[in-house]
Amino acid sequence: MRILSVVALLLLGVPGVAAASPSDDVVVHDLSTDGVAAYWTPERIAAMPTGPAAPPGTQPVDGPDGAPGPASKTIGRLFFVDRDGDDSSCTATLVVSANRRTAVTGAHCVHTANLIGQDPRWHSKLLFVPGFRDGARPFGSYAVRRVVLNQMWITDDQRSEYDQAFLVLDKPSGTAENIAFSRPGDRPAHEYGYPRAAGQPGHQGRPEFTGQRLAQCWGTAVGHPDGENLWGVPCDMGGGSSGGPRISGGAVVGVNTQSFRVNDVRHLGGPQFSGKITAPLYQKAQRS
Residues 30, 163 within the same domain: yes
Q: What is the Cα–Cα distance from 288 to 18, expressed in whole angstroms?
A: 18
Residue type for 7, please?
A: V
Of the ranges 60-64, 110-114, 235-239, which one carries the lowest mean pLDDT score? 110-114
In a domain, 84, yes or no: yes
Residue 42: its H or E element:
helix 42-46
Domain CATH code at residue 20: 2.40.10.10
Note whether 235 and 267 are within 8 A (CB): yes
Residues 120, 150 within the same domain: yes
Q: What is the DSSP string of 111-137?
A: EE--TTS-S-EE-EEEEEEET-BTTB-
Q: How many folded domains does the chain comprise?
A: 2
pLDDT at 80 over 80: yes
pLDDT at 220 over 60: yes
Looking at the chain, the number of H-run helices and the number of E-run strands are 5, 20
pTM of whole model > 0.95?
A: no
In a domain, 53, yes or no: yes
Residue 10: per-residue pLDDT: 29
Residues 120, 225 within the same domain: no
Domain extent, residue 258, equals 188-271
Residue 146: per-residue pLDDT: 98
- Grade residue 115 by pLDDT with cuts at 50, 70 and 90: confident
Residues 51, 109 within the same domain: yes
Residues 162, 229 within the same domain: no
Residues 232, 160 within the same domain: no
Residue 23: per-residue pLDDT: 55
In a domain, 118, yes or no: yes
- How does pLDDT run across 7-50, given as a tens digit for each residue? 233 223 333 333 334 457 999 999 999 999 999 999 999 999 99
Residue 114: per-residue pLDDT: 82
In a domain, 208, yes or no: yes
